[in-house]
Amino acid sequence: MAIIKCFIKIVINIHIFHLLTLKTSANLCNQSNLDQNQECNSEKNNKYSKEANTKYLQYFNLIYDAKRNYKVCNMNRCNCHTPVLLQDLKIFKEKGISENLIQNVKTKGTKYQIINHKLYREPNCLFPSRCSGIEHFILELLTDLPDMEFIVNTRDWPQVSRRHGFFGPVFSFSKTDEFYDIMYPAWAFWEGGPAISQYPTGIGRWDNHRQKLGKLGNATKWEDKIPKVFFRGSRTCSERDSLVLLSREDPELVDAQYTKNQAWKSDVDTLYAPPAKEVSFEDHCKYKYLFNYRGVAASFRFKHILLCKSVVFHVGDDWREFFYAALKPWIHYIPVDAKATKEQIRELIEFSINNDDMVKEIAENGYNMIWNNLRMRDISCYWKKLLKKYAGLMTYKPIIDETLIEIRK
Ligand SMILES: *[C@@H]1O[C@H](CO)[C@@H](O)[C@H](O)[C@H]1NC(C)=O
Ligand SMILES: *[C@@H]1O[C@H](CO)[C@@H](O)[C@H](O)[C@H]1NC(C)=O
């Protein structure tokens, strides 16, 4: 159903594009930097570019549309992300958050309380380093936070499905439209992220990664990047197969290989090839084209590879973190359908190679969005706004739960 919908939309858009080109081709060329478009550049008006441009018309159009609809958000006080928490809390607005609702979801995560500017938690946390990555942010904010209690899910998977029979507020780091969970900034901004050989204690300390990758992204010239698609990751999801298979077929165009994950037993788990070594974020930045796939839920790497100032192909749009909504397809990244075939992926890559200036701009936009709007202070700001708004929806005053322990810095 989803695919059919997309297809119809593209067809209609091409139609509109034709109508627009008739009237305002000069303007269009200017606005969308369509310097490869035959209408814009007669020198390139040879047989090849004509063919290519007919093929790429749908992408030119999608970029043009995205630019026309794009509204730059206000960077102050994490405003670029605020609509997301308002949206997540909207369902609780009418009736508020009652003690009953908390009871409904008590077992879906770890219970926390903030009472008199002190933080309390259940003694046991399912993933201690995840809890600690979450508490790092809350502890800093305590003086500004009113009394409240809430349930934090530290699993990857969200908990409150529209299809289940229960309902209540659960904080989760990632979700799809199917879930009522309230998104919070993942623990991995501080600690508790997945461990790979380069980051044995887990990908964490976003402040450090941001500085290092942000500098590297600026220091590496676009022209000096290897003009190849690069991907390394484990086979958490078969969505990744098309790119890996394309890489085996055309290693000059794509270098995409599976690494081991904890469940790896034999080459079957890496799609009948020996597992590749894991690769640091810094080494990803050497390549012009990077792919981001969902993992079990959203993938932590998205924000890191956007700071390479390479162009990011983001596959699928179901799984989100709180900051994804500020990132727009064709403005900050190139969207790829989760069910895209090898051939469709190849066409997108070829489009990018043949429209270098256009995708370079997307790479820069992606960098700027993350660099400017995903600072540590933006993460804290989001937590603060989220918890204050949440507390404002509570219909009762929580009293201290003696089974909890106090958490201090
Ligand atoms: C580009 O924009 C300028 C100013 O709006 C206009 O004069 C010019 O004709 C446009 N088209 C091209 C192809 O330069
Ligand atoms: C990278 O360049 C941009 C644009 O000039 C700038 O705003 C940003 O601060 C730079 N990043 C770093 C890490 O210096």
- Whether 201 is in a domain gets the answer no
Residues 95 and 168 grouped into a single domain: yes
Given the CA of residue 218, which atom of ligand 2 is nearest to it? 1
- Whether 27 is in a domain gets the answer yes
Q: How far is the CA of 30 from the centre of ligand 1 (A)?
A: 6
Tokens in use for 83?
């609509």
Residues 49 and 116 grouped into a single domain: no
Strand, helix or coil at 199?
Answer: strand
Tokens in use for 316?
């699928």
pLDDT at 107 over 50: yes
Residues 251 and 358 grouped into a single domain: yes
Q: What's the burial of 56, exposed, middle or buried (CB within 10 Å: 0-12/13-18/19+)?
A: buried
Residues 266 and 320 grouped into a single domain: yes
Q: Which residues line ligand 1 (CB under 6 A)?
A: 26, 29-30, 40
Residues 370 and 385 grouped into a single domain: no
pLDDT band at 51 (very low <50, low <70, confident <90, very high): low
Q: What is the DSSP string of 166-195?
A: -----EES-B-TTB-PEE---GGGTS-PPP
Q: Is the CB of 218 under 6 A from ligand 2?
A: yes
- Whether 312 is in a domain gets the answer yes
From the list 35, 144, 147, 156, the catalytic residue is 156
Residues 253 and 297 grouped into a single domain: yes
pLDDT band at 52 (very low <50, low <70, confident <90, very high): low
Mean per-residue pLDDT, 90-102 = 98
**Structure confidence by residue, pLDDT tens digits, 292-311:** 998 888 888 999 999 999 99
Ranking 17-21, 183-187, 260-264 by mean pLDDT, the lowest is 17-21
Report which DSSP code applies to 198.
Answer: T
What pTM was estimated for this model as a whole? 0.84
Ranking 33-42, 202-211, 323-332, 352-361 by mean pLDDT, the lowest is 33-42
Residues 321 and 387 grouped into a single domain: no
- Whether 203 is in a domain gets the answer no
Mean per-residue pLDDT, 266-289 = 92
- Whether 202 is in a domain gets the answer no
Q: How far is the CA of 25 from the centre of ligand 1 (A)?
A: 10
Residues 129 and 62 grouped into a single domain: no
- Whether 275 is in a domain gets the answer yes
**Ligand lying nearest the CA atom of residue 24:** 1
Domain boundary pick from 43, 69, 95: 69
- Whether 239 is in a domain gets the answer yes
Q: Is the CB of 215 under 6 A from ligand 2?
A: yes
Cα angle 32, 65, 368; round to 5: 65
Q: What is the mean pLDDT of the chain?
A: 88
Q: How far is the CA of 45 from the centre of ligand 1 (A)?
A: 19
Mean per-residue pLDDT, 90-104 = 98
Asked about 357 being catalytic, the answer comes back as no
Residues 313 and 394 grouped into a single domain: no
Q: Is the CB of 214 under 6 A from ligand 2?
A: yes
Q: How far is the CA of 250 from the centre of ligand 2 (A)?
A: 35
Range of the domain at 34: 2-69
Residues 94 and 119 grouped into a single domain: yes
Number of domains within the chain: 3
**Structure confidence by residue, pLDDT tens digits, 7-43:** 333 333 333 343 333 333 333 333 344 444 444 444 4
